[in-house]
Amino acid sequence: MARSRTGAFHSDDPRYRWVALSNTTVGMLIATINSSIVLISLPAIFSGIHLNPLEPANVSYLLWIIMGYTLITAVLVVSFGRLADMYGRVRIYNLGFLIFTVAAVALALVPFDGGTAALWIIGWRLVQGVGGAMLMATSTAILTDSFPADKRGFALGINQVAAIAGSFLGLIVGGLLAGIDWRAVFIVSVPIGIIGTIWGYTSLHESGTPRKAKMDWPGNISFGVGLTALLAGITYGIQPYGDSSTGWGNPWVLGGIFGGILLLISFVVIEIRTPEPMFAVSLFRIRAFATANFAGLLAAVSRGGLQFMLIIWLQGIWLPLRGYSYESTPFWAGIYLLPLTAGFLVAGPISGALSDRFGARLFSTLGLVLCGLSFIALLFLPVDFPYWAFAVLTGLNGIGSGLFAAPNRTAIMNSVPASQRGSASGLAGSLLNAGNSLSIGIFFSLMVAGLSASLPGALKAGLTAHGVASSVATTVANTPPVGSLFAAFLGYNPIQALLAPTGQLETLNPVDVAALTGKNFFPQLISGPFHDGLVIVFLAAAIMSFVGAIASVARGKKYMHHDESLPVAEHVGVGA
């Protein structure tokens, strides 16, 4: 019998696969769009709630609105993957869609102003992240349950394209909606969430078999607190501390990082000794699982760093030099990054389908090599580049990411027992989100390190040449570069933001004021120092990509599907 009384397809009907694929793809797309949609729309959001994000007291609001959603999804996705194995993947998935939608409604109805409004947004973004974590933890497990082994590559390819392309599409969607109204950035998720929730509850069925177990509270707490402390410490490492341009010497930052690492080590010890662990650490004895997750983490870090740096590059230098106002640069940055998104959207589904026939290793390895080569090529691109060259290189990077993502996730899901698919999906999602969070802290700090050596001197010389008092120029030049980068990232004129509090703009002659606050002064001033930072950033990203490619090669054989008749121990050393 093909249909139930309600008209929904049964889980053993071949047509049900496409129901599961379409619904989970929508879920992953909306969850990951929301991880980046606020990056572009932050200026409109802060303007709408009447708060200056560049004031020192408001920087924490800025960081948590940017990072809170990604951090909470990274922390909770493994726990929800385990709960999905215990209580049903579809049940957790549908509940996640519901929570996500409720939070979207609350975000669209911000009733406050100023700092209170920022706290409201942060709080409900965290709640929305809980729903997003449920979606991310279960979608690939639902597809793995629904599709036979020889068709999973295509299905997981579509799902992974949605997962990663969503972070790119969020930039474009955020830019478009922020130009209409800042609340539209949150409202857009409401109808999709309502439709997805109703659709999921009426059409999705459990294809896997839930495995009842006791809740591993020590494991959940040590993992959640440890990863939160680690990622929060790295996030706050971006902020200046004392006389340093970054916060890596801040005792609280160091305490969070080292304390988080110790808790994560204790998590591993707890899981090894717990009869019913939150996550089966023994899965890392399966070579395909371990190497694919390691390669996935490195790819996520390098990809996140690329996205963040390209936005600053476009908004702070390239677009203003072409006459775009700083206020319009967030939107146009998303438009000019379309080749990166298009490359990924083209390569992702194709590599997923072909990996069913030829295996995961070839495509995932080739993808990371292509990413690494594109990073090397970007090193030689001038700061004021011809767009065709930028489009080609970013497009190639997108193709490389697309070649890698789907086959790598398929290898992860195929390598584990059916009873552990929720946990495996959760861990892969956690590493993806943790990589995105780590990338901002790591690459932003690398960029600041590159700028700190040469930007102060160039900034002081440029300011004094236009009549700014030497004492003021010295003070402004010694301001940590993170302020200028955040201003450019948010669509503000960095020089105007730096000089406005000093009162110099009211005393200088109009010609100098026009030059200092125009579209060319800051881009020309920062071009040299910025390229110094880019060299460090892209070199690090290239190294990560090549190391990930080596890990991908080390996975072993072309194919590996977990044999349910064998224990995990007999899969040790087997690749995919």
**Location of structure tokens 């319009």:** 328
Q: Does residue 70 belong to any structural domain of this protein?
A: yes
State which residues form the domain around 517: 451-529
Q: Is residue 241 part of a domain?
A: yes
Same domain, 158 and 241: no
Residues 129 and 32 in one domain: yes
Q: 529, 545, 560: which is the final residue of a domain? A: 529
528, 242 Cβ separation under 8 angstroms: no
Of 275, 295, 317, which residue is a domain's last? 275
How far does the chain reach from its first CA to its final CA, in angstroms? 36
pTM to 2 decimal places: 0.81
Question: CB–CB of 555/288 below 8 Å?
Answer: yes
Tell me, yes or no, whether 223 and 199 share the same domain: no
Distance CA 317, CA 354 (A): 40
| CATH number of 355's domain | 1.20.1250.20
Last residue of a domain, one of 222, 241, 275: 275
Identity at 547, one-letter amino acid code: V
Separation of CA 153 from chain center: 23
* Dihedral pair phi/psi, residue 244, rounded to 5°: -90, 150
Tokens of 213: 């177990």
Q: Is residue 10 within 8 Å of 1, Cβ to Cβ?
A: yes
Copy the structure tokens of residue 200: 């999921």
Report how far apart, in Å, the C-alpha atoms of 116 and of each of 49, 109, 119 are: 9, 13, 5
Question: Which one-letter DSSP state was computed for residue 383?
Answer: S
Clarify whether residues 318 and 271 are in a common domain. no
Same domain, 347 and 466: no
Q: Tokens representing 104?
A: 């979207």
> 264 and 130 in one domain?
no
Is position 576 within any domain? no
Q: Is residue 96 part of a domain?
A: yes
Residues 240 and 378 in one domain: no
**Do the domain assignments include residue 28?**
yes
Domain identity same for 506 and 540: no
Specify the number of domains making up the chain.
Answer: 3
List the alpha helices (DSSP H) in 181-315. 184-187, 189-203, 217-236, 251-273, 287-313
Q: What is the pLDDT along the chain (576 residues), one digit of tens a residue?
A: 344 444 455 556 678 888 999 999 999 899 889 888 887 788 889 889 998 877 777 878 888 888 889 889 888 888 888 888 888 989 999 999 999 999 999 999 999 999 999 999 999 999 999 999 999 888 888 988 888 877 777 787 788 778 777 877 887 888 788 878 899 999 999 999 999 999 999 999 887 777 777 788 898 899 889 988 998 888 888 877 877 777 888 999 999 999 999 999 999 999 888 888 877 888 888 888 899 999 999 998 888 777 778 888 888 889 988 988 877 887 788 789 889 888 988 888 888 778 878 878 889 999 999 999 999 999 899 989 999 999 999 999 999 998 998 888 888 888 888 777 777 877 887 888 788 778 878 887 878 877 777 788 888 888 999 888 898 888 888 887 877 777 777 777 788 878 888 888 888 888 988 888 888 888 888 888 888 888 888 999 999 999 999 999 887 665 455 444 445 444 444 444
Task: Specify whether 31 is located in the same domain as 63.
Answer: yes
Compute φ and ψ for 148, nearest 5 degrees.
-70, 160
Q: Are residues 192 and 79 in the same domain?
A: yes
Q: Is 102 exposed, middle or buried (0-12, 13-18, 19+ CB in 10 A)?
A: middle
Does residue 541 share a domain with residue 519? no
Structural element, H or E, at residue 493: none
Query: Residue 6 falls within a domain, yes or no?
Result: no
Does residue 9 fall inside a structural domain?
no
Could you tell me if residue 10 is inside a domain?
no
Q: Are residues 438 and 457 in the same domain?
A: no
Torsion of CA 435, 437, 441, 444, to 10 degrees: 90
